[in-house]
Structures are given as C-alpha cells and as structure tokens.
C-alpha cells in the first residue's frame, strides 16, 4: 500500500473532525501530518507552522524523556498506552493530556492523538463551581434564555423558558428542537445564525427588516417577531443572541434571550384604534350627510310627481299648453338652482360642524404636547447630568445601586424610545389638524359666497382628502399638476364639481380584479385653465355619454345614484362660463375635462355682488 493510500481514510475524515472543535493531531511516525484548528489553538500555534514538524518539538523539552517511550507504546500496543500529561513549549505554562486513539486508520505507521487541556484537581473543582454558578445565574434570570453549542445542541434551557414557552428543560436539553416552541417547521434561531456565520442577506430572508446587529453586544443579533402559538393570543418577542467564544476567540456556541414586548405592541394597536375611531366619526358625519341628501331627494321626487300630475291635467287645455311648458321650464331651472344651493349649504354646514368639534380639542392637545416635549427634553437633560455625575459619587454602595438601577431600566433604550414616541405622537396630531383644515378648505366656512381668486390645486387636494375613503379601496391617485394661475370663481361650488367627478371615477372601478388609477392633471393657455380627471374604470358607450348631464339620469343601481351629481356639476361649470367635456372607451376608462376662464366678465361679478 502506498503512502497516499495509507493516509486517504484520515484525509477524508479530517474535515468533519475539524468542525467538531476537538484538539486532534495525526502523526506518521513522529511527524505531524494533520492538525485540527482546535489543536493549534490549544498549542498557541495558530500562526506557526505545525504540519511536517516532529511531534516532540510541540511540547516542553523537559517532557521528551517520557514522551518518546509513550509514542513507541502507542505504535506497539495503543489500547494499553494510556494517556500522558505534558507541558507546552510556547506561551504561558500550560499542561495537556495526550490520548492515543484506536488504530483504525488502516496504516501501521499512522496514529491519531487527541489533546485536551489538563486542569489540576483544585482548578477542576473551581471550574465545576463556576459552571454550577453559571447555571444558577441562568436559571435565576427572569428572561427566557437558552444556550446552544457549536453543533446547535441545546446545552441549557432556563426556568423562564419553561414558563414562557411551555416546554421543559428535560424535553430540550441535548436536542436540536429549540425551534419547536416558535415554528411549525425547522427554522434557524438567531443563535443558529451566529454559530453558522450566516450572511446578512440570508438572515434578512428569515427575519425580515426587524433583524439588526445588537447595539450593545459585539457580533450579537436582535429581531422581533410575533408567535401566534405562544400563550392564549400569541406573543411578540424581542430576541437577542450573542456568540460564546473560548479563550482563543473561537465560537463554541451561542446564548439567546427573549423579551416579551406584547404590551408595547398592544399599546401601538390601541393608538391605531384611536385613529380608527376618528375615521369612524368622519364616516358617521358622512352618513348624516347622506341621510339629509336622501330626504332632499325624496322631497324632489314628491315635487316632480306633483308636477307630472299637474302637467297631465293641463295637457287637455290646448290654449295654455305652450305657456305652461315655458313656465315649467323656468320652474325646473329655479328648482335645480335651489337644489344646488341647498346641497352646498348642507355640505358646508356639516363640514364646518365637524371641523369645529374636532379643532378645539386638537388645539388643546397640540399646545399641551409642545409643552410636554419641552418637559421631557428637560428631564432627559437632567438624567444625562446625573449620569455624568455618577463617577463622583463617593459612596461605593450607592454608586453600585445607581448603576444597577440604570442597567435594569435600560436607560439608553428608554431615552431613545421616548424621543421616538414623542415624534410619532406629534406626527399623528399634525395629521389630524391637516384633516380638519381640509374640511374647512372644502366647505370654505371662513369665506363668503362671493367671487374670489382661488388656487384650484388646493381645492382639489382638499377634496381628495375628504373623499379618500371612497377612493382608497379601489384606485391610486396620480397627480400631474401643471403650473396654473389662480382663477376667479366660487371655490366651494367648484369643489363640489371635483368631488362628483372623483367619486364617480372611484365607483367606475368597483368590482374590478385589479386596482385602478385616477389621474388628475391641469394646465392653462392665454385665457383659460383646464382640469382633467381620468380613470381606468369600466368606461361608457357613446349613448350613455350623451345623457350623463341630464337631470336624474344615472347608470348606478336603484338607491345608490340620484342622477343629479353631473347635472349639478354641469350647471356650476356653466355658471362659471366654462365647459365640461367627456371622452370614454368601454372597458378602458373615462376622461372629464373642465375648462374655466381665468377671469370672469365684470358684469357677472358685479351682478353677484349686487344680488
């Protein structure tokens, strides 16, 4: 058998032996032909050549007399050679126990020697006491904690783990089942990622954006996840894992702790519920508006029924038929104008009521919140000053008490989290104020009904905020605003036009398989400004397009549409001496374009002011 054939079994097993973390030397005669990483670390020879050297040169020369006969013995009768304690020839004085493995390498001149550090009897007792103390420390820790070795086997599972996770240490220690309390299928824990040295991108695939390096522990990891199987309603856990290294810096395992942050997450959910309550209030006001609208529609229906009966009775009177028709047209026109004015007034009053009811308490909260921010900032500054003064505390016991309290409360985290909570709360209050302001802008409760110069973009933005609940479930809004000048107009009436067009666009996309898009664009020429609202909804036929501006014509189901929205919009645009045009393709979408003069004729504004 050749030398290469003799060494092949050892070469094949070397890779997995090295991963075990065991100190192993493979010698051919007295020459070292293989050495595991753990062996080189024990001998302080990580950077010094070991392969090819005489094994006698790795240990103290004083032990050569007892090492030679022992080496001879392992080749003649390795099963009875026993173990040998020798000293290192480099670094600090250390002793090692050498043990020869059985001769299963297939070569008579090759042997495997295991190396382990030799600890005298007293030191061994101290090490056992240290391990016992470490176990008691882990079991006394109120945070769930478990320890893994480099083979991902559970070495310790403390009492808090048993209580929180509902699995005993007896079931876990010595197994690789630490994933079972959390997942349905085998999934690496943070401690497993540290042991394997998993790349950050692969780790992100497992834990998402919550995975981050520990701000406190070097090479540690943190992540937060919700586990529905824990407790009655599931639990949120903040997981922190850190490597466990030996004296030579080699990762020998990991330790992972769990913190229950369910209450913090519940508090965040409560904040979202409060926001939902505000949205429900807006919906309630909207429902009241719809109710008033329905009553108005029923009143109109009764009037129309009376008019039709009147017309039927006077049809037989041929002499008065023409005059009666002309009078009826005038009455119809006056009714449409009255309906428009009443509807706009109702919307303005309801919007103003909502804005007034919300604005005052929000003002108190915003004012008090600003003061609270100053107070919190002052308190944090005071805490920083106290922290800076800690080194000057003469009383050692008092200093230890203060230090322990700071660490237990995790003061650095509290300071950062307090600033974050204050920032998020301010953002929420400012959003509420913006909604209230949009209600006021939409209704123009702070202005009269006279002609005035207005920014149409501002009116569209306010209207979009008001009708967002109608749009957000069906479509995305795309703004393609151009540069346009202010327009002389009746802003609240134009807001009504924009609202009707936007709501109709949203309704045109109901029931579609994918989300649609509503595009709002604008521009101007020498004398006119145009606003276009396009959608990707169901579209309309040419016949439908020719009727949509007729009073009471609607394509919506009975009880959902009145047929007055576009008719009123058409009348408002006509009142502004503008035009409204529609183009539509069935199955592709619809585009409304409103064109308005920048300046009204002087006689129009003069008549309005006189009226």
Q: Which of 226, 229, 212 is nearest to 262 (CA)?
A: 226
Give the pLDDT of residue 446.
43
Taking 60 as the threshold, does the pLDDT of residue 340 lie above it?
Answer: no
Q: How far apart are CA 192 and CA 151, in angstroms?
A: 9
| CATH number, domain 124-260, options 2.30.40.10, 3.40.50.970, 3.30.450.20, 3.30.70.100 | 3.30.450.20
Contact between residue 405 and residue 390 where contact means Cβ atoms under 8 Å apart: no
Taking 50 as the threshold, does the pLDDT of residue 11 lie above it?
Answer: no
In CATH, 3-118 is 3.30.450.20: yes
Give the pLDDT of residue 419.
78
Q: Which of 113, 104, 45 is nearest to 73 (CA)?
A: 113
For 70-121, the DSSP string reads: HHHHHHHHGGG--EEEEEBSSSS--EEEEEEPPS-SS-TTEEEEEEEE---H
Average pLDDT over residues 474-500: 89
Vertex 357 angle, CA 351 and 360, to 5°? 125
Q: Return the higher-pLDDT residue of 284 and 103.
A: 284
Give the pLDDT of residue 7.
41
pLDDT in tens, 267-276: 888 888 988 8
What is the phi/psi pair of residue 583, to 5°? -130, 140
- 142 contact partners, CB below 8 Å, separation of at least 6: 160
In the structure encoding, which two tokens stand for residue 312, read together?
Answer: 């039927």
pLDDT in tens, 108-134: 678 888 887 766 655 445 555 666 677
Buried b (16+ CB within 10 A) or exposed e, 66-97: ebeebbeebbeebeebeebebebbeeeeeebe
Portions of the chain given CATH number 3.30.565.10: 447-610
Lowest-pLDDT choice from 305-309, 337-341, 381-385: 337-341
Q: Is 187 helix (H, G, I), strand (E, B) or coil?
A: coil
Taking 80 as the threshold, does the pLDDT of residue 60 lie above it?
Answer: no
Considering the entire predicted model, what is its pTM?
A: 0.36
Give the pLDDT of residue 77.
66
Q: Return the higher-pLDDT residue of 608 and 177.
A: 177
Average pLDDT over residues 42-63: 74
pLDDT in tens, 512-559: 778 889 999 999 988 899 999 999 988 888 888 888 877 777 777 665
Angstrom distances, CA of residue 37 to CA of 12, 41, 43, 48, 130: 16, 6, 10, 12, 26
Taking 70 as the threshold, does the pLDDT of residue 189 lie above it?
Answer: yes
Portions of the chain given CATH number 3.30.450.20: 3-118, 124-260
Q: How far apart are CA 419 and CA 412, in angstroms?
A: 11
Q: Is 293 helix (H, G, I), strand (E, B) or coil?
A: helix
Which stretch of DSSP H or E encloses residue 134? helix 121-140
pLDDT in tens, 346-360: 665 566 666 666 766
Q: Which of 519, 571, 577 is nearest to 336 (CA)?
A: 571
Taking 50 as the threshold, does the pLDDT of residue 2 lie above it?
Answer: no
Angstrom distances, CA of residue 66 to CA of 74, 86, 226: 13, 9, 61
- 439 contact partners, CB below 8 Å, separation of at least 6: 351, 352, 354, 355, 462, 466
Site of tokens 């919300």? 358
Instruction: Place 445 in a pLDDT band, splitting at 50, 70 and 90.
Output: very low
Q: How many CB atoms lie within 10 A of CB 494?
A: 24
Beta bridge partners of 254: 148, 243
Which stretch of DSSP H or E encloses residue 27? strand 23-28
**Is the dihedral angle over the CA atoms 220, 221, 224, 230 positive or is it negative?**
negative
Contact between residue 42 and residue 117 where contact means Cβ atoms under 8 Å apart: yes
Domain covering 447-610, topology: Heat Shock Protein 90 (3.30.565)
Contact between residue 106 and residue 9 where contact means Cβ atoms under 8 Å apart: yes
Taking 80 as the threshold, does the pLDDT of residue 107 lie above it?
Answer: no
């Amino acid at each position: 058998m050749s030398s290469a054939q003799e060494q092949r079994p050892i070469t094949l097993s070397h890779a997995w032996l090295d991963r075990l973390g065991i100190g192993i030397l493979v010698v051919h005669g007295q020459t070292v032909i293989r050495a595991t990483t753990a062996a080189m670390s024990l001998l302080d020879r990580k950077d010094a050549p070991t392969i090819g050297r005489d094994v006698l040169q790795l240990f103290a020369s004083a032990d050569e007399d007892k090492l030679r006969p022992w080496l001879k013995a392992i080749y003649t009768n390795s099963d009875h050679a026993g173990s040998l304690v020798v000293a290192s020839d480099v670094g600090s004085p250390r002793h090692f126990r050498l043990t020869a493995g059985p001769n299963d390498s297939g070569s008579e001149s090759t042997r495997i020697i295991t190396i382990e550090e030799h600890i005298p009897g007293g030191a061994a007792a101290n090490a056992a006491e240290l391990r016992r103390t470490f176990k008691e420390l882990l079991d006394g820790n109120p945070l769930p904690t478990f320890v893994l070795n480099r083979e991902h086997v559970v070495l310790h599972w403390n009492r808090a783990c048993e209580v929180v996770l509902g699995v005993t240490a007896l079931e876990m220690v010595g197994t690789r089942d630490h994933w079972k309390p959390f997942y349905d299928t085998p999934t690496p824990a943070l401690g497993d990622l540290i042991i394997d040295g998993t790349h950050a991108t692969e780790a992100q695939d497992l834990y998402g954006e919550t995975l981050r390096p520990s701000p406190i522990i070097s090479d540690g990891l943190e992540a937060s996840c919700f586990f529905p199987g824990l407790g009655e309603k599931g639990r949120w856990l903040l997981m922190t894992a850190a490597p466990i290294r030996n004296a030579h810096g080699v990762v020998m395992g990991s330790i992972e702790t769990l913190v229950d942050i369910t209450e913090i997450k519940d508090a965040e959910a409560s904040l979202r519920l409060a926001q939902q309550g505000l949205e429900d209030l807006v919906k309630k006001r909207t429902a009241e508006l719809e109710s008033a609208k329905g009553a108005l529609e029923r009143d109109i229906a009764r009037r129309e029924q009376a008019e039709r009966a009147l017309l039927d009775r006077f049809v037989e009177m041929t002499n008065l038929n023409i005059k009666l028709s002309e009078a009826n047209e005038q009455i119809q026109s006056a009714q449409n104008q009255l309906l428009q004015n009443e509807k706009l007034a109702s919307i303005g009053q309801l919007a103003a009521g909502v804005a007034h009811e919300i604005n005052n308490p929000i003002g108190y909260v915003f004012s008090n919140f600003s003061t609270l921010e100053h107070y919190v900032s002052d308190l944090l500054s005071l805490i920083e000053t106290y922290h800076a003064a800690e080194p000057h505390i003469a009383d050692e016991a008092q200093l230890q008490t203060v230090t322990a309290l700071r660490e237990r409360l995790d003061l650095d985290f509290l300071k950062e989290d307090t600033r974050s909570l204050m920032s998020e709360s301010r953002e929420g209050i400012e959003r509420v104020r913006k909604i209230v302001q949009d209600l006021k802008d939409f209704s123009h409760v702070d202005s009269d009904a006279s002609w005035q110069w207005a920014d149409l973009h501002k009116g569209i933005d306010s209207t979009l905020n008001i009708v967002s609940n109608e749009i957000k479930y069906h479509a995305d809004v795309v703004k393609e605003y151009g540069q346009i000048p202010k327009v002389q107009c009746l802003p609240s009436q134009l807001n009504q036009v924009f609202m009707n067009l936007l709501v109709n666009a949203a309704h045109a996309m109901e029931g579609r398989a994918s989300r649609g898009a509503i595009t709002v664009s604008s521009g101007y020429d020498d004398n006119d400004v145009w606003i276009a609202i396009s959608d990707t909804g169901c579209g309309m036929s040419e016949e439908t397009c020719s009727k949509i501006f007729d009073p009471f014509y609607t394509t919506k189901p009975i009880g959902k549409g009145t047929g007055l929205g576009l008719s009123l919009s058409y009348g408002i645009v006509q009142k502004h001496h503008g035009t409204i045009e529609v183009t539509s393709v069935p199955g592709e979408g619809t585009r409304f374009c409103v064109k308005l003069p920048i300046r009204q004729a002087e006689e129009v504004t003069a008549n309005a002011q006189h009226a």
